[in-house]
Structure 1
Amino acid sequence: MQALDLHPEQLAAAVGARPFLLLALLVLGAVGSVLGIVAIARLAERHARAMWSRAVRGFRAVAEHAATRRLSARFPALGRVLRGLSADEYLVIHLGLGMALSLAALVFIALANAVHRGSTIVRVDLALSRALYASTSEGGVAALRAFTHLGSGLALTVLGIVVGAALLWRRHRVLAIGWVIALAGGGLLNAALKALFSRPRPTFEDPLAVALGWSFPSGHSMGTFVAFGMLSYLGVLFVRTLRGRLALIALALSWTVAMGFSRMYLGVHYLSDVIGGFAAGTVWLAVCISGIEVARRRPSKVDGRPLLD
């Protein structure tokens, strides 16, 4: 009952005093949320089929309407996109990604506004940062210093080259281009956001690690989210079993959350920096996957059928 009476800053200090318990809770929360969504979707599958059928019929009616045809004739590019997408693909991929993009954008805007106004989240940031710094251990610092390098720009560039080359070798040209755009564009977007908000990093008399540049949003968190989100997307395309796909997504989520935690533990980012990085990464990832799906299903120049890369 006492925990319920704590102010946000006191609660942040309390959880910061147990850093690796906090990490475990964050990982379990992220993975559990995804598994919970999948479980709910499977339980609701029977009712969803009827709603799905009605939605598909509605989309087809709109696509075949005379006004839509006139619009497609006036804007050929729009017509090609509509012809290249089936109703099922449009509803599952693009409406789902659009929802993720919208929610993540709202979270990022609200968080950025709260940071700019110096509201409660800033006090929570300071309390958690100080508690984590006071609770560090020599072994924990050494381990997370090594781990956090795997989310650096250099490490993600190496990953980008390796995965991009593998996709080209397998002749997945559209996926390779989309992969490169996702990683490179995410880095540029993060740099632009940092310059826009210009938030100073946490400061300590005896810092555990030193990082250059502005603090909000976290580049390691955003870059890792985009890279491992894209790897999860590629895994969903190539892995056929639901169990394999869920295992891949759970591993990617765990890695990404741990990367964000490492930045807080080492005292180079605040909690809101990490959450902001995840939110901005979600927005960019949704845009990239949606664009890739459109490109993969564009009509082939040979026979007019969708080109599934």
Structure 2
Amino acid sequence: MEALDLSAEQAAAAVGARPFLLLALLLIGAVGPILGLVAVARYSERHARALWGRAVQAYRAAAEHPATQRLSTAFPAVARVLRELSAAEYLVLHLGLGLALSVAALVFVALAEAVSGGSPLVQVDLALARALYGATSSAGVAALGAFTHLGSGWALTVVALVVAAVLLGRRARVLAVGWLIALAGGGLLNYALKALFARPRPSFDDPLAVAAGWSFPSGHSMATFVTFGMLSYLGILFARTLRVRVAIVALAMSWTVAMGFSRMYLGVHYLSDVLAGFAAGSMWLAVCISGIEVARRRPRNGDGRPTAA
């Protein structure tokens, strides 16, 4: 085990000595799975349609089952929400979001336990942080120092207000309210998590940048993940082609990863802080998007038909 821990620290130090190799690995890890899923989905489209038909039939059969009808009578509010969800939305969107929430929660808990328990991950964090600090350049610090301000509270507040104004101008009130709740709630959640774990930030004799507050999870990483995740969601709603939607998601993920990398490069966060910020952001984003989708399809007309925002 000691040899394994040592090799992990050595690998972290080697990667940290090449900062933009680390950035490339992070980008591949974030964007690669998205492109892979799209490729698999397109390759298996013919089989997926057949499976989809069976899934829709199963959904309808379950909805018409006497037991389901009895539950609908006992819990009319839940039944009304489920009626407004088509089979596609229920099976793909909500189950997909539920899976994302579960995976993100497991990742966050694993990282939190590792950091709190002083596992070998802490030593990997330290080795990577020291190697990055030693490999920085004045040009890199200046560039990423300017870039990281775009993930600060004031910058994201401006984005929040501009996007909310655009949505209200399009009469998408549910989306506007959901957008503001997602961003504001994400900030509050991050503040609570930082206070809960109270992890000190990396410390250097001659720091490249100074940041206030606790380190775990990274606030810039989490806030950027939620903001650009919501922007991706809105882009997917309004974009018309798969190519544009994939491009939106890939660009949003790339920006978010770059923001997390900037926090590590400047020496104000560890790798586990950034990853935990992404995981916590994923959890909150899944909850928000699922809630918005339910709210968008609630009946709003006098005849009870759902009206999408």
TM-score relative to the length of structure 1: 0.96
C-alpha separation in 2, matches of 1:86 and 1:21: 44
Matched, 1:73 2:73: yes
Deviation at 1:172, TM superposition (A): 0.4
Q: Which amino acid in the other structure matches residue 198 of structure 2?
A: S
Q: Please say if residues 239 and 245 of structure 2, whose CA atoms lie closer than 8 Å, have aligned partners that are also in contact.
A: yes
Deviation at 1:5, TM superposition (A): 11
After TM superposition, the structure 1 = structure 2 runs for residues 213-228 of structure 1, keeping only pairs within 5 Å, are 213-228=213-228
Aligned to 2:10: 10
Aligned to 1:169: 169
Deviation at 1:6, TM superposition (A): 6.9
Structure 2 stretches lacking a partner, 5+ long: none
Aligned to 1:191: 191
C-alpha separation in 1, matches of 2:116 and 2:5: 27
C-alpha separation in 1, matches of 2:210 and 2:270: 14
Aligned to 2:231: 231
Aligned to 1:85: 85
C-alpha separation in 1, matches of 2:6 and 2:111: 22
Q: Residue 160 of structure 1 aligns to a residue in which SS?
A: helix
Aligned to 1:115: 115
After TM superposition, the structure 1 = structure 2 runs for residues 119-134 of structure 1, keeping only pairs within 5 Å, are 119-134=119-134
Q: Residue 236 of structure 1 aligns to a residue in which SS?
A: helix
Q: Please say if residues 5 and 120 of structure 2, whose CA atoms lie closer than 8 Å, have aligned partners that are also in contact.
A: no
Aligned to 2:287: 287
Q: Please say if residues 84 and 297 of structure 1, whose CA atoms lie closer than 8 Å, have aligned partners that are also in contact.
A: yes
C-alpha separation in 2, matches of 1:196 and 1:56: 43
Percent identity for Structure 1 against Structure 2? 75
C-alpha separation in 1, matches of 2:129 and 2:12: 9
C-alpha separation in 1, matches of 2:273 and 2:94: 28
Q: Which is further off, 294-303 or 176-185?
A: 294-303
After TM superposition, the structure 1 = structure 2 runs for residues 14-163 of structure 1, keeping only pairs within 5 Å, are 14-163=14-163
Q: Which amino acid in the other structure matches residue 257 of structure 2?
A: V
Deviation at 1:18, TM superposition (A): 0.6
C-alpha separation in 2, matches of 1:72 and 1:294: 17
C-alpha separation in 2, matches of 1:115 and 1:137: 29
Q: Which is further off, 202-211 or 42-51?
A: 42-51
Aligned residues: 306
Structure 1 stretches lacking a partner, 5+ long: none
Q: Residue 217 of structure 1 aligns to a residue in which SS?
A: coil
Aligned to 1:308: 308
TM-score relative to the length of structure 2: 0.96
C-alpha separation in 2, matches of 1:46 and 1:57: 17
Q: Residue 215 of structure 2 aligns to a residue in which SS?
A: coil
Question: 1:211-266 CA deviation, whole Å, 9 max, x = no partner?
Answer: 11111000000000000000000000001011111111111011000000000000
Deviation at 1:148, TM superposition (A): 0.4
Q: Residue 259 of structure 2 aligns to a residue in which SS?
A: helix
Q: Which amino acid in the other structure matches residue 158 of structure 1?
A: V
Q: Please say if residues 182 and 285 of structure 1, whose CA atoms lie closer than 8 Å, have aligned partners that are also in contact.
A: yes
**CA RMSD, aligned part only?**
1.3
Question: 1:75-107 CA deviation, whole Å, 9 max, x = no partner?
Answer: 221011011111111001100110111011001
Aligned to 1:211: 211
C-alpha separation in 2, matches of 1:72 and 1:280: 34
